[in-house]
Structure 1
Amino acid sequence: MEYLHEMIKSTSQLPVKMFTFHSTNPKRIIPKHWHLSSELLYCLSGSLVIWKGSKQYILHPQDVLLINPNEIHSTQSPEQNHILVIQFPIEFLQKVTNGKFYRAFEFNLNTIASRKPAQDLLPILNRLSAFSKQYTIIDNLHATAAIYELIALLCTNYMIETPQSSLNRAGDLTLLGNITGYIQQHYQESLTLSQVSSQFGYSASYFSKLFSNRMNLTFSDYLQQLRLDVANDRLLNSNETLINIAFDVGFSSYRNFYNAFYTNYQMSPTKYRKRYQHDKILHV
């Protein structure tokens, strides 16, 4: 019940989504999710735990890890940290590589696994961390130039042939993106597997197998995790009543919401809100 599909959009005038974050809350785990973009994580200070597939990695200062499309991952900050995140939309990477990215090659960049520092990338990543908020047109232009320089280095030094297992899944990426996008638009409704499968022209049994095989979780578990993720944001950023949040995000009863929330966060919604609602640094 943990895997969530994340829709990535570019930031401001940049061709990528780029930001830095600080985390001071070791209890908060970003739920397992996947997206159609490539995501680069660069540790500026502190540390960051990353679960990528079935493996765990811990980023320390100057460590870099890149997650390719359709790779399920999750993160946790065990201590106060500062992390640069760059998310490259797959359409952008395919455009600048003449359609070769992911169809013919992907990136292999993990300084923890390789035990080799990415010294060639550090000057660019340090520059980009200063542009992560894009205050001016000039900042945007310098950042855009650095992004293209970064992609050139990734293609030169960190490119590998796309595994056959990834190619076998490539045909489903657009379909899964459309399906999860539809669910994200209608999660507040009383969605059922039959309704969604019918929307996309599949039988319920075929759709159930397709969704489970590609997402590694059931339709109902995915829908529940999506609702919890929205509820979490509203718990921390509003003063709405718990009952109103529970029903508004699509749960059929407060008890169902409470049980699901407790299972996922190991504490009640009330206790979670009281502990973390004013943690502004973490939840910006």
Structure 2
Amino acid sequence: MCIIFWASPNSERIVLQFDLNVFQEFSLTEDEGKRLRDLFLHVSPSSADWNPDVARLVAGLLQVIHRESSQRKAGYRYVVKAKLYEMLAVLDRDVPRLVRDSAEDATSKSQETLEKLQQIFAYVEDHYQETITLQQVADHVGFSSYYFTKLFKRNMGITFMTFVNDYRLSKAKWILLNEETPVTEVAELAGFSSVKTFHHAFKRAMGVSPLKYRRTIFGNK
């Protein structure tokens, strides 16, 4: 399931991936398991279709999950799971389902799309430090570049190369906050082709240089 929140061009874009195995901790009945699968396959993915109050609530829960996962303070796993389950309840109760002419066909297509997106995410995770082109990944998942472009934008709300850039920036921010690696090396570790490209992309996304970003967190160390 992909949930898309439309925002202004200057907003920070956050992509969160959840392992569905987390829900195996529940002893679900057959009916509950079916309802959960139906939720992930048929919930309307765009917050533009939701009640505004519900959209704000889910966005707030996602922000807490992202903050706790990034800061990793004591007990953060409990908070993440609690907020994830709360979000699941909100989605189940208050978010509209997609209406399909054929539920069976819709389920099949949704599952196929989810699997393809997971393949794409895994490819980026494995190769983000290398040169990645749209054609490479399209070939990897067996799509033409045209269809791949349309599918990714329709489901994620952004272009594939924007996603790759955002992923590399998230890696760079993690390194800046958790390691003492020189900024010049952070660019290479995060997969940017040059230090200049890294500085430009980082400042455009965060409003400050990588070094200043690190100093705002830790002071002038």
Are residue 32 (structure 1) and residue 14 (structure 2) matched?
yes
CA shift in 2, pair 1:94/1:261, >3 Å: farther
Q: How many residues align?
A: 171
Cα deviation per residue 1:43-94 (whole Å; 9 max; x = unaligned)?
xxxxxxxxxxxxxxxxxxxxxxxxxxxxxxxxxxxxxxxxxxxxx8466679
Q: Which residue of 2 aligns with 1:163?
A: 98
Q: Which residue of 2 aligns with 1:46?
A: none
Between Structure 1 and Structure 2, which shows a larger proportion of helix residues? 2
Q: Which residue type is aligned with residue 184 of structure 2?
A: I
Q: Which residue of 2 aligns with 1:263?
A: 204
Q: Which residue of 2 aligns with 1:179?
A: 120
Contact 2:175 2:181 in 1 (8 A): yes
Cα deviation per residue 1:6-35 (whole Å; 9 max; x = unaligned)?
xxxxxxxxxxxxxxxxxxxxxxx8743243
Q: CA RMSD in A?
A: 4.3
Contact 2:202 2:208 in 1 (8 A): yes
Structure 2 stretches lacking a partner, 5+ long: 5-10, 44-49, 55-73, 101-105
**For the residues of structure 2 that align with 1:98 and 1:257, how far apart are their CA atoms?**
44
Residue 255 of structure 1: CA displacement?
A: 1.0
Are residue 200 (structure 1) and residue 182 (structure 2) matched?
no
**Partner SS for 1:32:** coil
Q: Which residue type is aligned with residue 202 of structure 2?
A: F
Q: Which residue of 2 aligns with 1:227?
A: 168
**Partner SS for 1:33:** coil
Alignment of 1:1-284 (within 5 A): 31-36=13-18, 89=22, 96=29, 97-103=32-38, 113=53, 133=75, 154=89, 158=93, 162-164=97-99, 170-171=110-111, 172-277=113-218
Contact 2:12 2:205 in 1 (8 A): no
TM-score, normalisation: structure 1:
0.48
**Partner SS for 1:231:** helix
**For the residues of structure 1 that align with 2:3 and 2:169, how far apart are their CA atoms?**
11
**For the residues of structure 1 that align with 2:167 and 2:158, how far apart are their CA atoms?**
13
**For the residues of structure 1 that align with 2:25 and 2:183, how far apart are their CA atoms?**
40
Instruction: State, as a whole percentage, how many aligned pairs show the same letter.
Output: 25
Cα deviation per residue 1:144-165 (whole Å; 9 max; x = unaligned)?
xxx8xx88xx49x937763338
**Partner SS for 2:142:** coil
Contact 1:261 1:269 in 2 (8 A): yes
Cα deviation per residue 1:130-178 (whole Å; 9 max; x = unaligned)?
xx839xxxxx9xxxxxx8xx88xx49x937763338x687331222122
**For the residues of structure 2 that align with 1:207 and 1:270, how far apart are their CA atoms?**
36
Structure 1 stretches lacking a partner, 5+ long: 6-28, 39-87, 115-131, 135-139, 141-146, 279-284
Contact 2:153 2:159 in 1 (8 A): yes
Contact 1:234 1:245 in 2 (8 A): yes
Residue 100 of structure 1: CA displacement?
A: 2.2
**For the residues of structure 2 that align with 1:249 and 1:276, how far apart are their CA atoms?**
19
**For the residues of structure 2 that align with 1:266 and 1:228, how far apart are their CA atoms?**
13
Between Structure 1 and Structure 2, which shows a larger proportion of strand residues? 1
